[in-house]
Amino acid sequence: MAGPTVLAVHRSSSHSFSKFSEDSITLVEGMGVRGDAHAGSTVQHRSRVARDPSQPNLRQVHLLQAELFDELMASDHPVFPGDMGENITTRGLDLLALPEGTRLHIGAATLQVTGLRNPCSQIDRFQKGLMAAVLGRDSQGHLVRKAGVMAVVVHGGEVRAGDAIRVEIPPGEQAALQPV
């Protein structure tokens, strides 16, 4: 069986909700996706800029597991790669189970996972009821955010669909991902 791979890559130069499919994207160390509105060493998401524009950008790259699209389609939410604003759509990797600080080696680039994407109200403007569909509860009743993970670029390079993903779990005690 093949390991985790990149299904698709996306970027958008505007602060639109969805991103456009590309043949490849270039990740820039400490910045994010070249040509993407969310690239920068400090926060670029509008709501965060309004609060404190000097905060470090822990949301340089958004990764989303294609398995979520399978789940959403089964519940009558037609959503496709790029629709939810991710830069990299993965297949075969449980992104949500990764510990904080995990490094993902993809193509020529290396990302470090910083936390969970915290879905915002824009998601329901994109498709009614989608916010509830990307949130769930675990067996203890705790909120589960299924809208992917955020990462920073620690080594830049090109990433394209079909690239293998090598996972490097950080040594020592593991911390569960929290929203960033």
Give the pLDDT confidence of 104-121 residue by residue, as tens digits. Answer: 999 999 999 999 998 877
| 148 inside domain | yes
Does 179 fall in a domain?
no
Q: Provide, rounded to the nearest whole percent, the portion of the chain with pLDDT above 70.
A: 99
Mean pLDDT of the chain: 94
Residue 41 lies in a domain: yes
Q: For the whole model, what pTM was predicted? A: 0.95
User: Has residue 31 been placed in a domain?
Assistant: yes
The pLDDT tens digits of the residues spanning 54-78 come to 999 999 999 999 999 999 999 999 9
180 falls within a domain = no
Which single residue is written with the structure tokens 């791979």? 5
Range of the domain at 84: 5-168
Q: Is residue 129 part of a domain?
A: yes
Q: What is the CATH number of the domain that holds 28?
A: 2.40.33.20
- CB 129: neighbour CB atoms within 10 A? 11
* Domain membership flag for residue 106: yes
Measured CA to CA, the distance from residue 96 to residue 99 in angstroms comes to 8
User: What is the per-residue DSSP string for 21-41?
Assistant: EESEEEEETTTEETT-TT-SS
Number of separate domains in the chain: 1
